[in-house]
Amino acid sequence: MAIGQYMQVVGLRLASLGHSQELKHKKVTVENKEYLLLKEELSKSKGIVAELQTKLTDTEKQLKETKDNYAKDVEDLKKKEADLASMESRLIEVTARLKEMEKKKGDEILDSFVEGFERACLQAKFLAPEVDPSEMDPGKIVRDGKMVEDDGVAKDEAENV
């Protein structure tokens, strides 16, 4: 009986050891599966990180190009602003010269008119020495046999326009 009880204890211990080994083996198998899953997740994460790093590098290149283009555009804009300021000053100079030329032209026309009027007076005096040309006035016209101011004709012409 003692041997039977001894065998029973040994059998229980063996069963206990077998069960422990099974649990240990199951635990290792579960840990291996978790390890493999974690390894797979890590691999996917590394792929995503590499992809994101590539995108970051591309974005940084684009940003650098954009900054370079912006700097170039700012430089071009400054040049164009300087050109515009130069053109504005030239336009002012040309406008002043044009006004001066128009004034000279007006003065020349007036001088030509006065010179022509003086010539007409001299010719009238030559053709009719008995007529006094001092009564002639370039600002008057003859209307209805009388010399009158030219203002009325100018007003009539302005109204007809």
pLDDT tens for 18-73 read: 767 776 776 667 667 778 888 899 999 999 999 999 999 999 999 999 999 999 99
Give CA–CA dist 137/148, Å, rounded.
10
Could you give the C-alpha distances from 151 to 106, 141, 148, 155, in angstroms and in order? Answer: 20, 9, 9, 6
Task: For residue 150, give every residue at least 6 positions away whose Cβ sits within 8 Å of its Cβ, in sequence order, or none.
Answer: 139, 140, 141
Q: What is the pTM of this model?
A: 0.40
Facing residues of 143 across strands?
146
Give pLDDT tens digits for 98-150: 999 988 888 888 888 888 888 888 888 888 888 887 778 878 888 888 888 88
pLDDT computed for residue 128 by the predictor:
86
- At which residue do the structure tokens 């008057």 appear? 140
- 3-state SS assignment for residue 77: helix
Structure tokens of 148?
Answer: 């009158």
pLDDT computed for residue 133 by the predictor:
77
pLDDT computed for residue 158 by the predictor:
46
Q: What mean pLDDT do residues 76-100 have? A: 94
pLDDT computed for residue 161 by the predictor:
40
Could you give the C-alpha distances from 67 to 5, 60, 70, 102, in angstroms and in order? Answer: 89, 10, 5, 51
Give CA–CA dist 58/65, Å, rounded.
11
Residue 157 has pLDDT above 50, yes or no: no
Give CA–CA dist 89/5, Å, rounded.
122
CA 146 to chain centre: 69
Structure tokens of 150?
Answer: 């030219």
Residue 156 has pLDDT above 60, yes or no: no
pLDDT computed for residue 146 by the predictor:
84
pLDDT computed for residue 28 by the predictor:
63
H helices present in the chain, as ranges: 2-127, 151-160
